[in-house]
Every structure is written in structure tokens, then in C-alpha cells.
Amino acid sequence: DTAVSQTPKYLVTQMGNDKSIKCEQNLGHDTMYWYKQDSKKFLKIMFSYNNKELIINETVPNRFSPKSPDKAHLNLHINSLELGDSAVYFCASSPGSGNNQPQHFGDGTRLSIL
């Protein structure tokens, strides 16, 4: 009964490939997020969706494209992978988009580019 689940947990691939990471939450939350954590543990938001609508889009290369087929899912597709994309990607969700709403995180997807 994992609240926020991401797949895969590990992803090893070559530069130039296209890959997707899936995220699902069973908490009934309206808002979902993608974060990137670099090798120094620094966390930065990439995207946020509220009820399938994009509400936050940080300065992220357009090789990254989020897709929310419904409010329980937010997938991340990455085209033409580069070495600098190596990181841990975390999905999160919250009940709504108000600033007092705590976010629930998945366990992360470790992406390694060869």
C-alpha cells in the first residue's frame, strides 16, 4: 500500500537514449511534483501538476516532458539523455497546491547515464 510509488528504482542507460520514469500516488491528492537531487544531495523542483494541469515549470531543458494522464499519475519522459542528467529523481504529491500542504515523496529513481 505504498503511497507514492515510482518505477523503475534504478535506470542505467547510454547517452542519447530516451527513457521514462513513472509515478503513481494512491493518496487521492490533487497535486504532484518532480524533483531532481544531484550528487551533492541538492534538491530542486522541476515540475508541478494540479489536477492534470501544469502549475510549476522551472528552468528545465525541454528534453524533459512531464505527462499527467490523470491526477494520480505523473510520468517524466526524458529525450536524448546527457551525462548531466545523472541524478536521483523524486516524485511527490500533496493534497492541494496551498503552501501549508506537506508533500509525500516516493523512494526515488536513480538514473545513471553511461
Per CB under 8 A, residues contacting other proteins are 4, 31, 33, 35, 40-45, 48, 50, 55-56, 90, 92, 94, 96-108
What CA–CA distance (Å, rounded) separates 93 from 30? 8
Does residue 107 contact residue 9 with C-beta atoms inside 8 Å?
A: yes
Does residue 23 contact residue 74 with C-beta atoms inside 8 Å?
A: yes
Between 15 and 43, CB nearer to other proteins = 43
Shortest distance (Å) from residue 8 CB to other proteins: 14
Shortest distance (Å) from residue 16 CB to other proteins: 29
Shortest distance (Å) from residue 32 CB to other proteins: 11
What CA–CA distance (Å, rounded) separates 22 from 20? 7
